[in-house]
């Protein structure tokens, strides 16, 4: 029988709220951590988890108590988004996250899954595989990339399984209200006649959040795996095609004001994830959480 006791930080965030649902559906025991208890109480799974209201970056955070009895940590919390260019990411989050994760490992948790970002690849174009050398060009990507290097160095002193999952472009319930599809849905719901957007030629890798959360749960179940994996569809689609697909899905008629916005300076025109490692990993048999690791 597999022991599945999982500590989830950022449990009420965009990714966390969906991942907790998947973990519970797979029989996991979840200790969900978030700063705002009111937000947590609104989650449909609130009464099925052990909820702890805590700021994991606070100097007085009782990390040992949070980690007690856990088989794995899923670390999702990361303040300051979606401002990817704020120095806060590496001036604060980087070091605070490293200290927190190190204390969790020192408390005896043998497996850690951390969500990275496709921004670790920087301005490179085309399909990004896990073997592609990171070249982050914004503070967020730089901080995530550096955190992974810190944790890999830590493995030499405190052996543990490190699963680094790079998220690409996720969409769905709970997403940032200013994100592309959320803004489009709001325009449709308000009866707007036109929707301002870029020319829409950018190629991106979009993935529904519920599917992505399932992939994260799959990786966590493969406790034998330690390394980097892209969480992506592996299929590039233009921003314009994505928007047009949503309009068809909602049977909505709205004029697209193409070219109203310029292209983001911190993103390449065309890049997407290589999903081969993710697919291969999901085909492997799960290993017991808290069991032996290689």
What domains lie within the chain, and their CATH numbers? 5-170+206-232+269-283 (3.40.50.720), 174-203+236-257 (no CATH)
Cα separation of the two ends of the chain = 20
pLDDT of residue 230: 98
Query: Strand 203-204 and strand 237-238: pairing?
Result: antiparallel
Query: What is the signed CA dihedral for 29, 35, 41, 46, rounded to 10 degrees?
Result: -10
pLDDT of residue 288: 56
Q: DSSP letters of 47-97?
A: GGSEEEE--TTSTT--HHHHHTT-SEEEE---TTTT-TT-THIIIIIHHHH
Model pLDDT for residues 169-205, shown as the tens digit of each residue: 999 999 999 899 999 999 999 999 999 999 999 999 9
Q: With contact defined as beta carbons under 8 Å apart, do 284 and 220 qualify?
A: no
pLDDT of residue 293: 39
pLDDT of residue 86: 95
pLDDT of residue 294: 36
Closest CA relative to residue 213, chosen from 68, 6, 56? 6
Q: CA-based angle 73:78:83, to the nearest 5? A: 160
Element (H, E) at 33: strand 29-34
Q: DSSP letters of 207-239?
A: EEHHHHHHHHHHHHHBTT--EEEEES-S--EEH
Q: With contact defined as beta carbons under 8 Å apart, do 202 and 183 qualify?
A: no
Q: What percent of the chain has pLDDT over 90?
A: 91
Model pLDDT for residues 276-285, shown as the tens digit of each residue: 999 999 999 8
pLDDT of residue 79: 93
Q: How many CB atoms lie within 10 A of CB 252?
A: 16
Query: What is the spatial distance between Cα 5 and Cα 18, in angstroms, rounded to a whole number?
Result: 17
pLDDT of residue 132: 97
Low-confidence ranges of the chain (pLDDT < 50): 1, 289-294
pTM for the model stands at 0.94
Q: With contact defined as beta carbons under 8 Å apart, do 96 and 78 qualify?
A: no
């Amino acid at each position: 029988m597999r022991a599945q006791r999982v500590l989830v930080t950022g449990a009420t965030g965009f990714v966390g709220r969906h991942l907790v649902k998947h973990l519970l559906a797979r029989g996991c025991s979840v200790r969900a951590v978030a700063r705002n208890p009111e937000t947590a109480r609104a989650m449909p799974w609130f009464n099925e988890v052990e909820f702890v209201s805590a700021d994991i970056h606070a100097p007085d955070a009782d990390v040992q108590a949070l980690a007690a009895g856990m088989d794995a940590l899923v670390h999702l919390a990361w303040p300051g988004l979606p401002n990817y260019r704020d120095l806060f990411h590496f001036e604060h989050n980087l070091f605070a996250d490293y200290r927190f994760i190190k204390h969790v490992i020192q408390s005896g948790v043998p497996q850690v899954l951390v969500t990275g970002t496709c921004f670790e690849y920087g301005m490179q174009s085309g399909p990004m595989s896990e073997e592609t050398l990171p070249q982050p060009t914004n503070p967020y990507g730089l901080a995530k990339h550096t955190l992974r290097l810190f944790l890999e160095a830590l493995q030499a002193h405190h052996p543990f399984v490190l699963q680094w999952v790079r998220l690409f472009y996720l969409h769905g319930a709970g997403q940032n209200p200013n994100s592309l599809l959320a803004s489009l849905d709001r325009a449709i719901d308000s009866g707007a006649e036109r929707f301002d957007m870029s020319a829409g030629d950018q190629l991106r890798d979009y993935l529904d959040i519920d599917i992505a959360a399932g992939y994260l749960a799959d990786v966590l179940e493969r406790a034998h795996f330690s390394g980097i994996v892209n969480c992506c569809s592996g299929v590039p689609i233009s921003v314009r095609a994505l928007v047009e697909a949503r309009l068809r899905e909602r049977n909505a008629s709205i004029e697209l004001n193409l070219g109203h916005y310029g292209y983001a300076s911190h993103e390449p025109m065309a890049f997407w994830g290589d999903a081969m490692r993710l697919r291969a990993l999901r085909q492997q048999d799960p290993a017991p959480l808290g069991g032996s690791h290689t």
